[in-house]
Amino acid sequence: MKFKSLLLTGSALLSATAVSAGGYQVTLAGIKNNGMGGVGVGLSLDQAAMFYNPGALAMVRDRGVQLGANFTFARNSFVAEGSNQQRELRNSVVTPVSLFAGFGPQEGKFRAGIAVYTPFGSKLQYAEGWEGRTSLTDIDLKSIFVQPTVSYAITDQLSVGAGLVVLAYGAVNLQRDIPLPDSFGHIELDGKAETKLGFNAGIFFKPSEKLSLGINYRSKIDAQVKDGDVTFTNIPATFQPRFQEGTKFGATLPLIATTSIGIGIMPTENLTIGLDASLANWSAYRTLRFDFSQPVNGADFSESRREYQDALTFRVGAQYKLTSGLVVRAGGSYDESPVKDGFVTPETPDNDRLGGTLGASYNFGKFGVDLSAQYIGIKKRTQTQQELVTNGTTDRIAGTYKTNIVIPGIGLNYTF
């Protein structure tokens, strides 16, 4: 067995196929925003501004609490190079959730709040016996971020805000098969990430009732797993000395920084249009290193190249107020992939993606219900064996990946 193939299991650490952004970034936060293509940096829609641009929170007139959930249904397929057989993933559903609560004086310039969201989370289960089984069979990723936030309106037109971002909980379970001379063993990596801190800051400027501008920066957080459990099964006695039970692993993955700008246009009292552009600093993800407490197949550590590149995302969306209680929304997005040719892995079979969204809200006095629906189409991605050889990345598999994702969402909100 080539030891470097073990890396493919670990490379999914906090990096499963994301449902709303390139690489392993997920931007499913506010349900209203989701229905508008994910825009929000240049808008002050509601308490979800804490995620998109904390500076806009001070311009949200209503105090309130909102709870949202998304349900991601992904259809993934893979055809190995030289084969006509299509492999499809086993069905799985992931439910990113969010909670936003904003407080402050009714007519004051100060707002504070707390945000809880799940920016990284996915579940992939490849078909039994698929060609890449020695790279990955299963991944289950969970994470929870908590962000206390403050925002202040310096003038009636200009406000600023910032939040302390806490990686409060992160857990990952990764599995793959181990090739042996006459059979396959199995390896499972299971670990929890340490609590880490970052920040989210923004500026919001509204020069007129028909125009608003915003800029937002979310810092990088290095997610670290220490003393994760490594479990081996179906290993014949002859090979067990190379795969010791009780082995621990450690790894670090950058949760990259993102800089975003946004524009809000309000041509009429009932129509709001948003445009966002974001730069994700994926170039911080160059290699992935694993350290083991005991040698695994004769090695104490190993590294695998990732060589991600910075990527842009463009979003556009609009909402229209049909009646005093009913608002409808629509939007779209284009997201560049940070994964270069020859560097695609089964955990992140990524490519440029196009998205389309719809949404609606209905208010019952102080209570409201938000609905959203998204379709994300990831362009077909083919990776050849020659590309792997040329880039020195033969620890992954050649073939063609195709992914489509449908994401319905629902939110409940209360204003006071």
Are 159 and 110 in contact by the 8 Å Cβ rule? The answer is no
**b vs e for 108-137, b when ≥16 Cβ sit within 10 Å of the residue's Cβ?**
eeebbbbbbbbbbbbbbbbbeebbbbbbbb
Q: How confident is the model at residue 274 (pLDDT cuts 50, 70, 90)?
A: very high
Q: pLDDT value at position 1?
A: 39
Decide if pLDDT at 277 tops 60: yes
Q: pLDDT value at position 3?
A: 41
Q: pLDDT value at position 21?
A: 59
- Residue 112 to residue 242: CA distance in whole angstroms: 54
* pLDDT tens digits, one per residue of 298-328: 888 878 888 899 999 999 999 999 999 999 9
* pLDDT tens digits, one per residue of 72-130: 888 888 898 988 888 877 666 677 889 999 999 878 899 999 999 987 766 777 878 88
Task: Read off the CATH number of the domain in which 346 is found.
Answer: 2.40.160.60
* H or E element, residue 51: helix 49-52
Q: Is 49 left (phi over 0), alpha (psi -120 to 50) or beta?
A: alpha
* pLDDT tens digits, one per residue of 130-149: 888 887 888 777 778 999 99
* pLDDT tens digits, one per residue of 38-49: 999 999 999 999
Q: What is the DSSP track for 319-336?
A: EEE-SSSEEEEEEEEEE-
Are 275 and 43 in contact by the 8 Å Cβ rule? The answer is no
* pLDDT tens digits, one per residue of 205-262: 999 999 999 999 999 998 899 999 999 999 998 898 999 989 999 888 888 899 999 9
* pLDDT tens digits, one per residue of 153-198: 999 999 999 999 999 988 878 888 888 888 899 988 888 999 999 9
Q: Which residues contact 160 (CB under 8 A, 6 or more apart)?
A: 55, 58, 151, 152, 154, 201, 202, 203, 204
- Residue 74 to residue 125: CA distance in whole angstroms: 11
Q: How confident is the model at residue 24 (pLDDT cuts 50, 70, 90)?
A: low
The answer to which of 13-17, 29-33, 311-315, 316-320 has the lowest mean pLDDT is 13-17
* pLDDT tens digits, one per residue of 59-71: 998 899 999 999 8
In 8-127, the DSSP E strands lie at 64-70, 72-80, 86-88, 93-94, 97-103, 110-117, 122-125
The residue segments making up the domain with residue 97 are: 3-415
Residue with tokens 């994470």: 143
Q: pLDDT value at position 15?
A: 37
Query: What is the token pair recorded at 302?
Result: 């190993």
- The model's pTM is 0.88
CA distances (Å), origin 269, targets 47, 272, 328: 20, 8, 14
Are 279 and 309 in contact by the 8 Å Cβ rule? The answer is no
Q: pLDDT value at position 25?
A: 67
Decide if pLDDT at 6 tops 60: no
> What percentage of residues in the chain have a pLDDT greater than 90?
55
Number of domains making up the chain: 1
* pLDDT tens digits, one per residue of 325-383: 999 999 999 999 999 888 888 777 788 999 999 999 999 989 999 999 999 998 889 99
